[in-house]
Chains A and B, each alone.
Chain A
């Protein structure tokens, strides 16, 4: 029987092979490499499902399969690659490989059918992207995670900049890589610090860094800290350093600016980035090393606040966007903010739940948007659309399902997961005022989300067509409809994997499958379970209205009401035959929102300032540093010019100088020798 570890490696290698094939076989491939990519990701998906089943059967994996480099002596660290297959990573493997497969299929319609050039490069990029993300998911240590995290960044660069012949995509790709690189800088310091502190970067096991950190705080182990810093402080710092990478990749405030620009990439790539790979990587990383974060209340608080703030902040910007994918981009930032909020407030399961549901409905929305874009001949402005509902029924209905999920409307998937996040934040926040701020942010974002989501839906699909393109859209084929249908179903039903409120209110046992799954009920790895996190975590639960069920109902009612309110407002304003640009009424605020709170501007200004400083340094270098070098040579040559003037060419002067020299020597040595005393 093949080991689960071998499955894990094969899952990663399959898409990698498709990358290599696409890279070298190039033009000899059918469909530019799409088929090999589909085959590879389908294989990965099957193996992922098998892995999931294996984990369900209690067969988890935590083993090293390749030693990259080892130290001996004092720094006897092992830098290695290994697979950590537990309930969390098994679930994530399925999500990633499923979305990747669907994106590959969808790309047949979006890229091949649209006659794009350079398809092998595209599919090579997709393959590598998928492989990198899968490698990241199975990583059993922080270094390996970092390495694949970076590869994910590379692939996003390559894919966002796929249309390199236009000016926009290369610039967006550069920005995406650079901004996330800035976050990764902190991440890398974090990795280095983890190695230095614990001597290992393993996620799980007795010799893992979360475990050692726990032991150190409990006084059962000693670890290195810089300058004898208190361990708890140092762990907080390390956690925040790693968080830098998360903020970058998961597009949290203030490093979210790259993500909307990344819409320059082909739409299937956006789906992959937003739903399952790059952006998800950040949140997944926090979940992966959650056992470390929960040891630091400060770090948790910061995660929660950043997440909550980002959720609201990004949602507000989504309100005024005119382009379909831009709205989705901000919604992604906002939704990942929710996940961070959940993680920061102790809602580990809630975060993973939302990660799962979001993966499906966001992939669905992006692919739906892609379908619209195909239909609209690559026009993305929603004001050019309208009335597509009847022309693109499959797209419309699936898109609607996704939108309802995104808006958090009962009983779609998003409702369950978002509600659980808010619930967890609330019950923990009752004892922790900081979390309450996060909760308020999260709650306020709910109606905004519903509003912009349905503004998008109404503008795109409802009303009268507002352009010729919208009146006669390009039809889409099975390869577009198929993935949409799969995801549409998932967006509706995924909530069912974790019906916690139902359980709590009605007391039906066993319907909180995800909870039990992540609680290692069917097996898992010691120390990586939700109950372990809850045990060592900093939060106590509190309840309103005297009980758990009441709190659940109250929370759900509030958020659903707010969501419906937002939806209603959108219907009222945009659900008409010929909607007007109501955002104009917002005046100054619209400008502010439309310009993304001038976040890009200040970051550009920072970049400019750095470049100015660089030119200053260059001037300094050429003038002063090199000037000194050239100055030394000039001074030498100048003294040379002076010295050689002694040789006047007139022999009488020579005789005189010779005599003077001899006389001087005579006098000097007469004095020294005392000849004439």
Chain B
């Protein structure tokens, strides 16, 4: 019942914060957000699950309750975690708390609504990562979008309305495509449950029937494509990424942190859970185009980042690039590939969160994010700047920081993949991303942080307040700890991903 308690506490916190007057909202929200942090850490400490939740592993903190019975199908309240979802839950709670603190400076209107929505989103995110019944999962999945829509639309930048609607409609249409694909699959299975484990195991047993004129093979392929498209938008991968930079640029800092840090991971998490767990053979059949998309995302995303002048846009596009690695790790379908992809979700969540937060701190002080508008900031706000530099190096995959671990696991996993033809070639191409990422981050840093001090906007620069710096430092510490001791998450991740390899007879070598 700990998951229910966690969800209930978070929802309740959201309601409480909604009801508070503005002046109490920020600190109360922070205080209340520590409850889910503590809860998730408790789950982490007492985690006893083993194996993959969908393929018959031992699910931790599991609850199954009947919910609805409709049209011959049973809908359940079914939650639980395994080694893939637990790290993501921890990431969610941790990042939300920090994002809430980072909102103290930039958010100065309608505070109780803002923090309430943040907590509401956190609750739904926890739901996404713990739900094991499709409908419960889908409700949470979509419910994440609504607070996000408001957070961008109400507190965003000048073009926030365009960005919010684009984000909302784009990702919802993607959800619809995914939903249709999944429904085609489920109605063609001889089961009456929407429990994800049941569906996975039925598919693995080869029980898929016809869907109208579609034979099982074709159906699986169509469903795989629909699911992939649906989740690809969320990730996002090229060419369905264009909502992301708009959303990021317009979103206020804490919202960008959540968007890049956790929301994008929903896409890759779902890809792992659905496409690569339920339909591994299709994943294998489509390996080359997917790997091509992954490489395209990495390189093209990095090239786009290189062309940007807005610091936030740079970080936004670099997310596209980084998430391409995750796709590559998934498609490789090896131990280190799948595990590395999952690890990279966590790592990128922390690092992109740090980057957005650091850029936000700079923006709070300078009121500009354009590379050309400033230089030499290291002189005036040293702590923030040097943490930003550290974050940038983490982004570049500096060893002993979390990003390197994730990327290296993916690369070393995918290089020898037997599922992906020409795996060394794809891996080698994707790895070139680590050069481009260094290029654009170094260029941007050189021009904004270093050199003689200059600022085009009329603001006095002060050292950033402690509550701006503290979350940065916390994130940096987490990144380093995870980079030095990846086994904190790696072992449980591996425990949950290795069973998947049996679906394709081993994967590598």
Residue numbers of A with Cβ under 8 A of B are: 67-75, 77, 79, 143, 146-148, 150-151, 154, 161, 164-167, 169-171, 173-174, 177-178, 181-182, 184-185, 188-189, 191-193, 195-196, 224, 226-227, 607, 610-611, 613-615, 617-618, 621, 625-626, 629, 633
Q: Is the CB of A189 within 8 A of B428?
A: yes
CB proximity to A under 8 Å, residues B384-427: 393, 396, 398-400, 404-405, 408-409, 411-413, 415-416, 422-424, 427
Given A71-B336, A192-B427, is A614 in contact with B451 using a C-beta cutoff of 8 Å? no
Chain A residue with Cβ nearest B389: A158
Chain B residue with Cβ nearest A229: B424
17 A-B residue pairings within 8 Å (CB atoms)? A67-B487, A73-B501, A74-B501, A151-B399, A154-B398, A165-B451, A167-B452, A169-B450, A181-B396, A182-B435, A189-B428, A191-B412, A610-B439, A611-B306, A614-B304, A617-B307, A629-B170
Q: Is the CB of B494 within 8 A of A147?
A: no
Residues on B with C-beta less than 8 A from A75 are 334-336, 412-413, 416, 508-509
Among B239, B405, B508, the residue within 8 A (CB) of A74 is B508
Q: Does B498 contact A (CB under 8 A)?
A: yes
Chain B residue with Cβ nearest A183: B435
Q: Does B506 contact A (CB under 8 A)?
A: yes
Residues on B with C-beta less than 8 A from A167 are 451-452
Residues on B with C-beta less than 8 A from A71 are 335-336, 339, 494
Residues on B with C-beta less than 8 A from A161 are 450
Q: Is the CB of A626 within 8 A of B308?
A: no
From residue B481, how far is it (CB to closest CB) to chain A in Å? 13
Q: Does B300 contact A (CB under 8 A)?
A: yes
Residues on A with C-beta less than 8 A from B452 are 165-167
Residues on A with C-beta less than 8 A from B428 are 189
Residues on A with C-beta less than 8 A from B443 are 174
A239 to B388, CA, bound (A): 35
Chain A residue with Cβ nearest B242: A626
Q: Does B434 contact A (CB under 8 A)?
A: yes
Binary interface encoding of chain B residues 283-317 relative to chain A, with 1 for a CB under 8 A from any of its CBs, else 0: 00000000000000000100110111000000000
Chain A residue with Cβ nearest B507: A74
Q: Does B106 contact A (CB under 8 A)?
A: no
Q: Does B438 contact A (CB under 8 A)?
A: yes
Q: Is the CB of A170 within 8 A of B450?
A: yes
Q: Is the CB of A185 within 8 A of B432?
A: yes
Chain A residue with Cβ nearest B498: A73
Q: Does B48 contact A (CB under 8 A)?
A: no
Residues on A with C-beta less than 8 A from B170 are 629
Q: Does B207 contact A (CB under 8 A)?
A: no
A193 to B404, CA, bound (A): 16
From residue A634, how far is it (CB to closest CB) to chain B in Å? 13
Q: Does B100 contact A (CB under 8 A)?
A: no
Q: Is the CB of B306 within 8 A of A174?
A: no
Q: Is the CB of A188 within 8 A of B411?
A: yes
Q: Is the CB of B438 within 8 A of A151?
A: no
Residues on B with C-beta less than 8 A from A607 are 439
Residues on B with C-beta less than 8 A from A178 are 435, 438-439, 442
Chain B residue with Cβ nearest A151: B399
From residue B399, how far is it (CB to closest CB) to chain A in Å? 3
From residue A262, how far is it (CB to closest CB) to chain B in Å? 14
Q: Is the CB of B439 within 8 A of A165?
A: no
Binary interface encoding of chain B residues 487-509 relative to chain A, with 1 for a CB under 8 A from any of its CBs, else 0: 10010001000100100001111
Q: Does B280 contact A (CB under 8 A)?
A: no
Chain A residue with Cβ nearest B239: A625
A189 to B307, CA, bound (A): 26
Q: Does B486 contact A (CB under 8 A)?
A: yes
Among A70, A189, A191, A617, the residue within 8 A (CB) of B303 is A617
Q: Is the CB of B415 within 8 A of A193?
A: yes
Q: Is the CB of B494 within 8 A of A72?
A: yes
Residues on A with C-beta less than 8 A from B408 are 79, 143, 188, 192
Please give 7 more A-B residue pairs, beta carbons under 8 A apart, in addition to A170-B449, A226-B423: A68-B405, A150-B399, A170-B445, A178-B442, A182-B435, A189-B411, A625-B242
Residues on B with C-beta less than 8 A from A169 are 450
Q: Is the CB of A196 within 8 A of B303?
A: no
A226 to B421, CA, bound (A): 10
Among A171, A188, A633, the residue within 8 A (CB) of B431 is A188
Q: Does B446 contact A (CB under 8 A)?
A: yes
Among B306, B335, B399, B442, the residue within 8 A (CB) of A72 is B335
Chain B residue with Cβ nearest A624: B239
From residue A217, how far is it (CB to closest CB) to chain B in Å? 20
From residue B403, how far is it (CB to closest CB) to chain A in Å? 12
Q: Does B195 contact A (CB under 8 A)?
A: no
Q: Is the CB of A615 within 8 A of B404?
A: no
Residues on A with C-beta less than 8 A from B445 are 170, 174
Residues on A with C-beta less than 8 A from B304 are 614, 617-618, 621
Chain A residue with Cβ nearest B313: A618
Residues on A with C-beta less than 8 A from B24 are none
Q: Does B378 contact A (CB under 8 A)?
A: yes
Q: Which of A70, A170, A177 neighbours the largest number of chain B CB atoms within 10 Å of its CB?
A: A170
Q: Is the CB of B335 within 8 A of A73?
A: yes
A70 to B493, CA, bound (A): 12
